[in-house]
Structures are given as C-alpha cells and as structure tokens.
C-alpha cells in the first residue's frame, strides 16, 4: 500500500468516525457545533478572551507571525548546530533534532493547560483521530531526519539545497488535489508559479555560484534524492493538517499541536539508531554515538565548569530555536485553518529564504555571532526575489477571499 493509499484510507475512516460522533451528539450539541463552525469562518476569537476580529484581519496577523517565527527558526537552527560543535567535544545532528523535540510537547501542553486555567471555555478535548496523530507524528519525524542528515554541506551542497527545497510547492499543489480534491483557480495558480520564479531569482547566486564559493558536496545523487524524499513527508503533513484544522473548529490548535509533538518525539526517539548507520549517521558505532550525545547534553547543562569544555551561545541558541519553532508551528497551524490552506502556507514560507539571506548579509557566525554587514552582487538577487514573491502572496490571498465571497453569495 502506498503513502497516498494510506492517507486516503485515513481520510475515509475519519469521515466515518465523524459521522458516528455526530450521531452520538444530542440535537443541541450538533446545533452548537454547526453554529460555532459557521461563526468561526467569519470571525476569529482572540485567545484567552471573548473578543473577536474579522477572519481577514486575523489571516494578515497570522501571516506576519508565521513569517517572523519561521525566519527566526531558520536563523536560530544553524546557530544552534554550530554552537553545539564549538568545543573539542563535538555533538551530532541527531542531538540537534531530538533535544528541541523533547521540549516541544512539554511547552505546548503547559500552554494548553495554562489556557484552560485562564479561560474555562478552552477545551482540552481532542476531536482528531489517534491514527491522524500517529501519521502526522511519523511524517514530521521522517521529514526532520532525512532533511537534516541530507543537508550536511559535504552531502548536498548549499547551492543545490535551495533548488531542491522549492519542490515543496509543486508537491503541495499535487498532494492537496490528490488527498483533499481541492483545486486552485487559474489566478492563484499563476501566483504560485510567480512565487517559484521569485524563489529562483533569489537562488540565482547559489545556482551559478556568483560568489565563487567552494562547495565540497558529495558527487553521488543519493543525498539530493534523500533530501527531496525528506521534503515529501512535510508536504503530506501540511495537507493533512489543513484537513484536520478545517474539519472541526472545536479542535483547539494548541491541543492538536501538543499531540502531534508528542508523537513526533516518540518516533524520533525510535529512530535513534539512524545516527550510527554507516555512511548515513555521523557516528561509526553506538559508543561514538553515545559520546556525541553526551557532548550535546554537556553543551546545555555543563559547559564552562572546570575542565568541562565551554560552549558559547549553545544554551541560548537552543532556546532561541525552540521559542521560534513553537511560534512558527503554532502560527502555521492557524494559517492552515484561517486561510486558503496548505498552498497559501508554502507560498508564505517562500519568502523566508530571502529574508534569512538578508539577515546573514548583516550578521555572521564566523568568530562568534556578531554584526558584519557585507553587501555583494548576490544581495541584489535576494531583494529582487522578495519584490516578486511579496505581491504573489498578497494577490493570492486577495483572490482566495474573492472566491470565498463569490461562493458565499451563491449560497
């Protein structure tokens, strides 16, 4: 059975489960659920209070927060990765994955419980099937593992990673139609293509190596293929999360996020052995792997004491990444609910690479993180890419709202 068959089967089973749940609800509960969904489609209730704002305004705010969170996450991750390898006791990429993943479910769960304590109307009950959480947790774990290991510079050159990363957009368009049977209009499709063009412009300096940087990537095509395979689960997860977020508006996004995070860290934990697979992990045996993990935890809990190696910025970089991750993923989940869905999300995410490129034009990690502005010919391509991508995002959202209004007028 293929991945798409499994996803389709899940969708079918979820529909039957939803029907059974509705039959079990009382007439008042069914009426309340329908009213809540209809009202939520027009307005969005602000967290921890009874005030509401329009869906359009909410979508704009969530989009800005998503860009802020994901840009911060993309900046903090390499900083964290470099920091845990700053001393002579080096860690590995698996630690960079598993350590933050251990904190995500705890943080989301604590925020959910705090929300319940502040606002009694906040529901801790989940209306999503366990199978959906299992599949989403597994997809997220596989995505993180494959992309992280394949993105090492000596495996997939940075100039190639940017090109391969673009594939999440066509993947999402195709998978959204295959799984949800949702098509995009001609106008929105042109905006999607325009976003791809903008991304390509941004990547021109890397593709053609304008700066004449030396890349020592592997000559094998295996790692680039693994990189692409790692992007595929992310596209599937985006589509499935859109389905679940729009299926039942009683589902609190924080509760949903917490459950996905618990299953994600569970599957990442089960995949620890990939860290010492020959030619895949960064350790040749389990003893070396354990030593690398010890170094990672040392960077967080024991650096700088006596003979213990010092890891400048490691603790701060880790929590900076964790904080931005929580903001970015929560905002992305809300964007899936209150916008057009997965395609709009990946279009918004397309502006992240040029923003991050501008940031690293102003700062550097060499010799420690510090201010180091350096504008080159590549900077012009980055700004040009933003000029193309930003209007595509705005027009795509405008066309979505226009189509939704036309459909509501028909009803």
Burial class of residue 82, CB neighbours in 10 A (0-12, 13-18, 19+): middle
What are the backbone dihedrals phi and psi of residue 371, each rounded to the nearest 5 degrees, phi first? -65, 125
pLDDT band at 41 (very low <50, low <70, confident <90, very high): low
The whole-angstrom separation of Cα 224 and Cα 147 is: 10
By DSSP bridging, strand 370-371 and strand 363-364 are: antiparallel
What are the backbone dihedrals phi and psi of residue 370, each rounded to the nearest 5 degrees, phi first? -165, 165
Is 80 exceeded by the pLDDT of residue 212?
Answer: no
Is 90 exceeded by the pLDDT of residue 378?
Answer: no
Percent share of the chain, pLDDT over 70:
82
The whole-number pLDDT of residue 370 equals: 80
The whole-number pLDDT of residue 214 equals: 60
pLDDT in tens, 135-144: 999 999 999 9
pLDDT band at 33 (very low <50, low <70, confident <90, very high): very low
Continuous segment of H or E residues that includes residue 43: strand 43-45
pLDDT band at 303 (very low <50, low <70, confident <90, very high): low
pLDDT band at 211 (very low <50, low <70, confident <90, very high): low
- Residue 24's DSSP bridge partners are none
Using alpha carbons, select from 176, 179, 156, 159 the residue that is nearest to residue 168.
Answer: 176
Asked, for residue 153, whether it belongs to a domain, the answer is yes
Measured in whole angstroms, the distance separating CA 389 from the mean position of its chain's CA atoms is: 19
Weakest mean pLDDT among 62-76, 310-324, 365-379: 365-379
Instruction: List, as one string, the DSSP characters of 3-71.
Output: HHHHHHHHHHHHHHHHHHHHHHS-HHHHHHHHHHHHHHHHEEEPTTSS-EEEHHHHHHHHHHHHHHHHH
Is 60 exceeded by the pLDDT of residue 150?
Answer: yes
**For all residues of the chain together, what is the average pLDDT?**
84
The whole-number pLDDT of residue 62 equals: 94
pLDDT in tens, 68-121: 999 999 999 888 888 887 767 788 899 999 999 999 999 999 999 999 999 888
Q: What angle do CA 292, 298, 304 make, to 5 degrees?
A: 130
Enter the tokens of residue 211.
């700066």
Cβ distance 318 to 310 under 8 Å? Answer: no
Asked, for residue 267, whether it belongs to a domain, the answer is yes
Measured in whole angstroms, the distance separating CA 341 from the mean position of its chain's CA atoms is: 14
The whole-angstrom separation of Cα 51 and Cα 53 is: 7
The whole-angstrom separation of Cα 303 and Cα 309 is: 6
Side-chain-side CA neighbours of 137 within 13 Å: the count stands at 25
The whole-angstrom separation of Cα 174 and Cα 168 is: 10
Asked, for residue 36, whether it belongs to a domain, the answer is no
Cβ distance 201 to 384 under 8 Å? Answer: yes
The whole-angstrom separation of Cα 17 and Cα 162 is: 41
pLDDT band at 164 (very low <50, low <70, confident <90, very high): confident
Work out the number of other CB atoms within 10 angstroms of the CB of residue 266: 16
- Residue 370's DSSP bridge partners are 364
By DSSP bridging, strand 43-45 and strand 52-54 are: antiparallel
The whole-angstrom separation of Cα 319 and Cα 302 is: 16
162 vs 211, residue with greater confidence? 162
Asked, for residue 387, whether it belongs to a domain, the answer is no
Work out the number of other CB atoms within 10 angstroms of the CB of residue 119: 13
Asked, for residue 371, whether it belongs to a domain, the answer is no
The whole-angstrom separation of Cα 264 and Cα 234 is: 13
Is 90 exceeded by the pLDDT of residue 179?
Answer: yes
Cβ distance 151 to 143 under 8 Å? Answer: no
The whole-number pLDDT of residue 360 equals: 85
The whole-angstrom separation of Cα 33 and Cα 25 is: 10
Q: Is the dihedral of CA 253, 256, 261, 262 positive or negative?
A: positive
Side-chain-side CA neighbours of 52 within 13 Å: the count stands at 11
How far apart, in Å, are the Cα atoms of 132 and each of 24, 176, 231, 242? 21, 16, 19, 12
60 vs 10, residue with greater confidence? 60
Residues 6+ apart with CB under 8 A from 26: none
Using alpha carbons, select from 382, 329, 394, 323 the residue that is nearest to residue 358.
Answer: 382
Asked, for residue 198, whether it belongs to a domain, the answer is no
The whole-angstrom separation of Cα 273 and Cα 59 is: 41
For the chain, the domain total comes to 1
219 vs 340, residue with greater confidence? 340
The whole-angstrom separation of Cα 78 and Cα 83 is: 8
The whole-number pLDDT of residue 44 equals: 79
Asked, for residue 376, whether it belongs to a domain, the answer is no
Look up the domain containing 275 and give its range: 55-180+213-339
The whole-number pLDDT of residue 213 equals: 65
> Across the chain, which distance is largest between two alpha carbons, in Å?
73
Asked, for residue 207, whether it belongs to a domain, the answer is no
Enter the tokens of residue 137.
């947790």
The whole-number pLDDT of residue 36 equals: 45
The whole-number pLDDT of residue 235 equals: 96
pLDDT in tens, 338-351: 998 999 999 999 99
The whole-number pLDDT of residue 379 equals: 87
Block residue for tokens 């990673």 = 161
């Amino acid at each position: 059975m293929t991945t798409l068959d499994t996803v389709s089967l899940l969708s079918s089973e979820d529909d039957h489960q939803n029907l059974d749940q509705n039959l079990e609800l009382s007439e008042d509960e069914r009426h309340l659920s329908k009213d809540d969904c209809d009202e939520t489609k027009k307005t969005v209730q602000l967290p921890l209070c009874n005030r509401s704002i329009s869906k359009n305004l909410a979508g704009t705010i969530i989009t800005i927060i998503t860009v802020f969170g994901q840009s911060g996450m993309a900046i903090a991750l390499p900083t964290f990765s470099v920091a845990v390898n700053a001393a002579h006791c080096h860690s590995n990429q698996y630690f960079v994955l598993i350590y933050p993943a251990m904190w995500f479910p705890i943080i989301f769960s604590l925020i959910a419980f705090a929300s319940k304590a502040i606002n009694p109307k906040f529901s801790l009950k989940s209306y999503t099937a366990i199978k959906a959480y299992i599949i989403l947790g597994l997809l997220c774990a596989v995505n993180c593992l494959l992309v992280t290991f394949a993105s090492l510079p000596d495996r997939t050159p940075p100039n190639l990673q940017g090109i391969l990363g673009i594939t999440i957009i066509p993947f999402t368009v195709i998978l959204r139609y295959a799984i949800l049977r949702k098509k995009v209009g001609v106008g929105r499709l042109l905006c999607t293509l325009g976003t791809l063009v903008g991304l390509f412009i941004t990547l021109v300096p890397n593709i053609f190596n304008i700066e004449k940087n030396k890349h020592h990537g592997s000559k094998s095509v295996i790692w680039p293929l693994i990189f692409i395979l790692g992007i595929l689960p992310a596209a599937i997860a985006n589509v499935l999360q859109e389905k679940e977020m729009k299926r039942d508006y009683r589902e609190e996004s924080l509760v949903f996020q917490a459950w996905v995070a618990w299953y994600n860290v569970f599957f990442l934990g089960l995949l620890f052995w990939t860290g010492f697979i020959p030619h895949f992990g960064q350790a040749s045996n389990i003893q070396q792997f354990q030593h690398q993990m010890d170094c990672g935890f040392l960077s967080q809990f024991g650096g700088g004491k006596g003979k213990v190696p010092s890891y400048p910025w490691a603790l701060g970089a880790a929590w900076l990444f964790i904080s931005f991750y929580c903001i970015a993923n929560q905002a992305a989940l809300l964007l899936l609910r209150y916008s057009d869905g997965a395609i709009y999300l990946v279009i918004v995410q397309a502006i992240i690479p040029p923003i991050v490129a501008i940031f690293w034009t102003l700062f550097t990690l060499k010799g420690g993180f510090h201010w180091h502005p350096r504008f080159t010919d590549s900077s012009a391509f980055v700004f040009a890419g933003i000029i193309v991508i930003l209007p595509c995002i705005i027009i795509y959202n405008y066309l979505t709202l226009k189509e939704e209004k036309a459909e509501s007028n028909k009803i």
